[in-house]
Structure 1
Amino acid sequence: MREPQWRQEGTEPDYRFSLANERTFLAWIRTALALLAGGVLLDQFSTKLGPHLVVVALAVVLGMLATALCGLAYVRWRANEVAMRHARKLPGTLAIPLISAVTLVLSAVLVFLLMVQA
């Protein structure tokens, strides 16, 4: 398999930094899997929680967030690898505020639904 062009540029970074970057990537994937599992859980219990369509919509949003997070994880991993190869500052990410904001809103909606149901 041919290596991508960006892996042929710059100098090979210290393997410890590459492995740390890979562990961070895997942590993002683990977070995406947890969000997806939460969406599946909501879907399975949607008939027992609040308005069915609202709970299913929350489950779909969690699934979409998990999908976006997987893509963002790769983009972040690649950008970090390129930055390390060229001895540049590591780039920032929009993923952290995105996850925080969406999780906050979804949690608030779910708590509201549970309070209304009780």
Structure 2
Amino acid sequence: MSSVPSSASDQDRETGGGSEPDYRFTLANERTFLAWIRTALALVAGAVAVLHLVPLDWGDGSRLTVGLALTALAVIITVYAPLRWIRVQRAMRRGRPLPMSALPLITTVGVTLVCVAVLVGNYWP
């Protein structure tokens, strides 16, 4: 069985419509996706460290709050990253402007809140 689409409608279904973008842009989009996944993995590692490895003089509530916040942020990034990748790929194929992404703002706000919680946990018992 051939993997070549049998008609234009089959090709549109496989590519999301439009034409194949320059492979460099497709690979750049993939690298961006992988960078978001690495960020999510780093956040999970931070959550494990806060919850189980780093000897902190925090109460259980502070430790749990920071660990769960890091984990929640990792989950949000992990769910949103492939959706963003698909939206960008589809826009490139259709020759449209790239869609704006809320992911950088979500990550910035989340990491800022975690940093504030860490400072509060360290300096205000």
* TM-score w.r.t. length of structure 1: 0.88
**Map of 2:99 onto structure 1:** 91
Residues 38 and 59, structure 1, Cα contact 8 Å, conserved in 2: yes
Shift of 1:105: 1.0
Shift of 1:108: 1.0
**Map of 2:7 onto structure 1:** none
Q: Distance in 2 between matches of 1:21 and 1:75?
A: 12
Q: Does 1:62 align with 2:62?
A: no
SS in 2 for 1:76: helix
**Map of 2:120 onto structure 1:** 112
Distance 1:4 1:95, change over 3 A: farther
Residues 29 and 70, structure 1, Cα contact 8 Å, conserved in 2: yes
RMSD: 2.1
Q: Distance in 2 between matches of 1:45 and 1:71?
A: 26
SS in 2 for 1:114: helix
Q: Distance in 1 between matches of 2:25 and 2:77?
A: 22
Q: Does 1:36 align with 2:48?
A: no
Q: Specify which of 35, 41, 49 is matched with residue 27 of structure 1.
A: 35
Alignment length (residue pairs): 116
Paired letter, 1:63? T
Residues 39 and 60, structure 1, Cα contact 8 Å, conserved in 2: yes
Q: Gapped runs of 5+ residues in structure 2? A: 4-10
4+ residue stretches of structure 1 with deviation over 4 A? none
